[in-house]
Amino acid sequence: MTSFAKPHINLKHAKRNDLGLTWHDYEGAMSTLCAGCGHDSITACMAKAFFELSIEPHRAVKISGIGCSSKTTAYFLSESHGNNTVHGRMPSVATGAAAANAGLTYIGVSGDGDSLSIGLGQFAHAMRRNVNMLYMLENNGVYGLTKGQFSASADIGSKSKKGEINLSPPIDPVTLALSLGASFVARGFSGDREQLVPLIKAGLKHNGFGLIDVISPCVSFNDHPGSTKSYAHTYQYYHPAVHADYVPMSEEIKTSYAAGEAVPVELHDGGSIILRKIDEDYDPRDRGAAYTQIAERDAKGEIVTGLLYIDESHDDMAAMNKLPARALNTMPYETLCPGSEALAALQKGYR
C-alpha cells in the first residue's frame, strides 16, 4: 500500500514531445504495488514510449485482465481509454475494441498467470488473428497477488520463497508465440529500459499483434536465491541478441551502423524499425532459425532478449476480415444497421 503522492512538477526545462507534453503527462495514479516491483519499471517504460511517439493520450486504449500486472493500467496514461476485464479475457475485449475502432493504439497488459493459465486460449487466438495491438506480458514466474505460488512460466528447478522446487515444465510465451504465427515477438527485462522503451515503441508501430514478454522480478515472492526470475539471476544470465529502434517516416535514418549489423524493416506507416544485431548469428527475420536458437539457449539457461522475430508482411485482423478502417461510432446509423429489408435480401442470398 502507499500513502504518498508523487507531485507533478512544472519543471522549467522539462523535455517536451511534439504535442508539448512531458512524460509525466503520460503517467497515471500512484502504483500500489510493492516497492521495487519490476512492473512499475515497465509501467514507466510504457509511459515513456507513448510520450516519445507523441501519441495523443485520448487516442490510446489500455486493456488488462486480473493480477498484479493487470493493475498497472491504472498507473499510466490516465487520460486514455481503459478496460480492466475479467481474468484472462483481455484479448477478447481488445479484439472487439480493435474491430470497432481501428484508428486507436491498443496496448494490452497482462501477466504470466493471466496469459499462460486461465487466459492461455485467449492469448493464443489473439496471436492467430493478428489483432493490431501490443501485448505486454509481465512475467515474474509467480502468482504475486495470492502470495507466491508458481505460475505456468516458472522454470524447472526454480525455488519458491518457502523452499519448494518447481518440477513442471514452463510455458515460454516467446516460443509459443513463434509457433502460433505471431508477427512480432520480443523479450525484455524490466531492469533494462534502454532496450525496453525502443521495443515498446516498435511494438506499438508494428502492424498486427506484437508480443513483448518482459521478465519482471517479483520483489516480495520471487527475488531470492534459487529463483530464476530474480533481479540477480536475470542480470546474471541476461543476453540481449537484437536491439530494435523505431524511426518514424518523418526522420531520415541518419545514424550510421557498421555494415552487416543494421537491418531496416519497413513498417506500414512509412517508418521503419532498425534492427541492430548484438549477436551476429541471430536473424530475427527467420522464424524457424529464431525458434531453434531461442529453444537451445533457453535450455542452457541464457535469457535471450530483444526483438526476436518480426514479419511485417503478414495481414492483420482488420485486413484479413475486411473490416472498415473507420470507427463504427463515426458511421451513419443507416450504414451500420441497413434495416429489415436489407437483412431479408442478404438471407435470401443464402437460400
Partner 1 sequence: MNAPDGWKQQNGVPPTDTANPDYFHKVVDCQWACPTHTPVPAYIRLIAQGRFSDAYILNRESNVFPGILGRVCDRPCEPACRRDRVEDEPVAICRLKRVAADHKDDITNRLPKKPAQTNGKRIALIGAGPASFTVANDLAPLGYECTILERFDVPGGLMRTNIPAFRLPEKVLDEELGYILDMGVDLRLNSPVGSMKSLLDEGYDAVFVGTGAPKGKELDLPGRSEGGASIHIGIDWLESVAFDHVKSIGEKVLIIGVGNTAMDCCRTSLRLGAKNVKVMARKPRSFFKASPWELEDAEAENVEIIVNHSPKSFVVKNGKLTGMVFELMEYELDDKGTIVGQKVTGEEMIPCDDVILAIGQENAFDWIERDAGLEFGKWDMPVVDEVTFQSTEPRVFFGGDAAFGPKNIIWAVEHGHQAAISIHQFCEGNPVTVRPIDELKLSSTKMGMFEWRYSNSFDGAHRRVMPHVELAKRFKDLDVEVELGFTPEQTATEVQRCLNCDVQTVFDTPLCTECDACIDICPVDCLSITPNADENTLRHVLENPALNDDQTLFVSEALPFTGRVMIKDENICLHCGLCAERCPTAAWDMQEAQIIINHVEDMI
Q: Which of 193, 205, 229, 277 binds partner 1 (CB under 8 A)?
A: 193
- In the complex, least distance from residue 224 CB atom to partner 1, rounded to whole angstroms: 12
- In the complex, least distance from residue 157 CB atom to partner 1, rounded to whole angstroms: 19
Query: In the sheet that 272-277 helps form, which strands lie side by side, from edge to edge?
Result: 81-84, 60-64, 105-111, 133-139, 209-215, 184-189, 303-310, 238-247, 272-277, 262-266
Site string for partner 1, 227-246 (x = CB under 8 A): ----xx--xxxxxx------
- Backbone conformation region of residue 100, classed left if phi is above 0, alpha if psi is from -120 to 50, else beta: alpha
Q: Which of 283, 298, 302, 312 binds partner 1 (CB under 8 A)?
A: 302
Q: Which of 25, 40, 112, 155 binds partner 1 (CB under 8 A)?
A: 40
Q: Counting every residue, how long is the chain?
A: 351
- In the complex, least distance from residue 239 CB atom to partner 1, rounded to whole angstroms: 4
Cα-based distances in Å from 218 to 39, 49, 163:
8, 23, 16
Q: Which of 37, 94, 152, 215 binds partner 1 (CB under 8 A)?
A: 37
Question: Of 283 and 302, which CB lies nearer to partner 1 in the complex structure?
Answer: 302
Distance of CA 91 to the CA centre of its chain: 12
Question: Of 23 and 246, which CB lies nearer to partner 1 in the complex structure?
Answer: 23
What is the bridge-based pairing of β-strands 238-247 and 272-277?
antiparallel
- In the complex, least distance from residue 70 CB atom to partner 1, rounded to whole angstroms: 18
Which residues have CB under 8 Å from 221's CB, separation 6+? 142, 144, 147, 148, 160, 161
**Binding interface with partner 1 (CB under 8 A):** 2-15, 23-24, 34-38, 40-41, 43-44, 190-191, 193, 217, 219, 223, 231-232, 235-240, 278, 302-303
